[in-house]
Structure 1
Amino acid sequence: MDNLSKEDVLSVFQEILEKIKAYQTIIIHRHQRPDPDALGSQVGLRELIRYHFPEKKVLATGEDEPSLVWITKMDPVLDSDYEGALVIVTDTANTPRIDDDRYTQGDFLIKIDHHPNEDVYGDLVHVDTTASSASEIIADFALETGLSLSDEVARLLYTGIVGDTGRFLYSTTTSKTMEVASLLRQHDFDFAAISRQMDSFPFKIAKLQGYVFDNLEIDENGAARLLLSQEILQKFEVTEAETAAIVGTPGKIDSVEAWAIFVEQADGAYRVRLRSKTVVINEIAKRHDGGGHPLASGANSSGLVENEQIYQEIQEAVAHASK
């Protein structure tokens, strides 16, 4: 989908708009364990549709993430709401990650995403891996189809873009990203408050960051790893979702090139967060029940043996890149 011409993109956007116009009930999903872009794109699209089509029932479904309720909250959605409904999934590469498995119960399914399109699902698909975020795509959709933005829509989409670009620090930030962000900033919302919110964290997270620096293992080529056991999570009184706040911490060390954070689950398995500065690591994630962007991915591990295997693969990738 990356190689679509501007005309092709406009055609897909118009198809999406026509589907939105055709349905009275629209239900929007996103991925589990949401981040700002998942919520920004999902609810930004919800508010965009409500703004232009107030007579429609437009709902956002999924679990609320306590640490991100400052962005938005989800709607209550009944099984009966899916009857004859249009379902749209944003920011979700593969079906196992979709929050709320009722996404199959609607009449028509649209996928809008910026991750590699390796799990092709939906009756209509728009994937643009050149976009910084799904929120950028939703903003582009609105701008290209002539849908004006409310201040709230702009706030949500700007929040999603800021979140997925690391406040415009990541390599996914393009000139188009900056252009879209600039257009969103013309609306009336407190952009500085968004940055302050994203740059602040509870004291317990500050203490966990100290643990990261004290316990991070780094090899001679800059491959790093950290294990957060259930015991450590309980000691610092943090949930698995809250550990997302420290996923970028190892990258602040100049000698670190790529890293994995292994977060133990209650059943003894591990959620693995993979990040890199320049070395592609999403192929490693795919080999371990995961995926994502070339420099930011997630995977799953059955236990300590697989953890070791994943780290060895990261070490090999970094060592090969350093030659």
Structure 2
Amino acid sequence: MSVFQDILEKIKAYDTIIIHRHQRPDPDALGSQAGLREIIRHNFPDKKVLAVGVDEPSLAWMTEMDQVADSLYEGALVIVTDTANRPRIDDDRYDMGDFLIKIDHHPNEDVYGDLVHVDTGASSASEIITDFALETGLCLSDQAARLLYTGIVGDTGRFLYPATTSKTMEIASQLRQYAFDFAAISRQMDSFPFEIAKLQGYVFDNLEVDRNGAARVTLTQEVMKQFQVTEAETAAIVGTPGKIDRVESWAIFVEQSDGSYRVRLRSKTVIINEIAKKHDGGGHPLASGANSSALAENDIIYQEIQEAVAHAKGK
């Protein structure tokens, strides 16, 4: 029996299913979580299926979360999607259920759950959820297809990132057969508020780039206040430095209210997740996140990026 069949049997065995995903959700986190919720509801209408976590205002157009009482976890199946490690799971009640399933596409360095399916070759958790439904014969609804397609588009950068495979395109093609406005999704994901547009200008003006293409920019609390953007909204500019042809790898340091920094690391070809691991983080080889305690640690992280890029170029 395949892991997908094992997951399906667990879904069939429980009347209450609660689905979690990671904090500060992106389209794939919400797409995989809410997409799975819609699939189970569509195929098993008598089950209580709920999605939990903090609602992200900038992604309210995708879906909203459910309100879940503690009592509902008793005897429930809990599924966590798109979350590599336990500290990043949104809502720490994930371990209050009867059985826990992890479904993810990040490196499986924090092995948690009673049943685990991790496919690092998949472009996204939404691709895995779609594959699960198709392989096990579950029916997709138009709403589930919309959510999963959005998740795939989000995590592949509209099919531009290296994680996009022929299977990714095949699955996206199957999702496109359902009735939803895919052009509206593309327009939504390609647009951003005027405040973000102005912040992008700040990033271009203040980006530090060394001779090998290692780059960094720091967004302080003062800068975010100046441009009237929240910490979560700064995620919209994470790919901005990469639009410059000479930039190879980059870090965006976002100051938190306590003076520490959330670090977003991206790269075109040079592997940077090993750097993230050294600084309380991790992720994909070319897209990771980390944490920094102060400006001094920011400097260390940037130096490590510079060294990685220089080494890759044989310098």
Category of TM-score, reference length = shorter chain: over 0.9
Give how far 1:148 is off: 1.4
The Cα offsets for residues 21-62 of structure 1, whole Å up to 9 and x where unpaired, read as: 000000000000000000000000000000000100000000
Normalised to the residue count of structure 2, the TM-score between the two structures is 0.99
* CA RMSD, 1 decimal: 0.5
Whole-Å separation in 2 of the counterparts to 1:71 and 1:318: 37
1:196 corresponds in structure 2 to: 187
C-alpha offsets along residues 175-208 of structure 1, whole Å, 9 cap, x if unaligned? 0000000000000000001010000000000000
Asked if residue 289 in structure 1 is aligned to residue 311 in structure 2, the reply is: no
Amino acid at match of 1:193: A
Report the secondary structure of 2:308's partner residue: helix
Q: 1:24 aligns with which of 15, 31, 36?
A: 15
TM-score for the superposition, normalised by structure 1: 0.97
Aligned to 2:178: 187
Residues of 1 paired with 2:230 and 2:246: CA distance?
A: 28
SS of residue paired to 2:55: coil
Matched length: 314
1:4 matched residue in structure 2: none
Match of 1:64 among 55, 59, 84: 55
Aligned to 1:50: 41
Distance in 2 of aligned mates of 1:108 and 1:95: 15
1:267 maps to 258
Q: In structure 2, what is the equivalent of residue 298 of structure 1? A: 289
Kindly indicate whether residue 154 of structure 2 is the aligned counterpart of residue 143 of structure 1. no
Counterpart Cα distance in 2 of 1:77 and 1:165: 31
SS of the counterpart of 1:273? Answer: strand
Q: Paired residue for 1:129, among 117, 120, 123?
A: 120
Which one-letter code corresponds to 1:118 in the other structure?
E
Q: Paired residue for 1:7?
A: none
- Residue 214 (structure 1) aligns with: 205
Distance 1:249 1:322 in 2: 22
| Residue type at the aligned position of 1:136 | E
Q: Deviations over 1:228-273 (max 9, x none)?
A: 0000000001001000000000000000000000000000000000
Q: Equivalents in 2 of 1:268, 1:69: separation in Å?
A: 29
Distance 1:211 1:295 in 2: 24
Amino acid across the alignment from 1:13: F
**After the TM superposition, which segments of 4 or more aligned residues of structure 1 sit over 3 Å from their partners?**
none
Q: How far apart, CA to CA, are the structure 2 residues paired with 1:148 and 1:48?
A: 7
Confirm or deny that 1:311 pairs with 2:298: no
1:74 aligns with 2:74: no
Q: Distance in 1 between matches of 2:95 and 2:106?
A: 20
Q: Distance in 2 between matches of 1:201 and 1:214?
A: 19
> Which residue number in structure 1 is paired with residue 267 of structure 2?
276
Shift of 1:14: 0.3
- Which amino acid counterpart does residue 145 of structure 2 have in structure 1? A
Unaligned 5+ runs, structure 1: 1-9
**2:107 counterpart of 1:116:** yes
Residue type of the alignment partner of 2:110: D
Q: Which amino acid in structure 2 is aligned with residue 173 of structure 1? A: T
Quick one: distance in 1 between partners of 2:189 and 2:276? 26
For residues 261-319 of structure 1, the C-alpha deviation after alignment (integer angstroms, 9 at most, x for no partner) is: 00000000000000000000000000000000000000000000100000000000000
* Structure 2: 5+ residue stretches without partners: none
Residue 86 of structure 2 is matched in structure 1 by 95
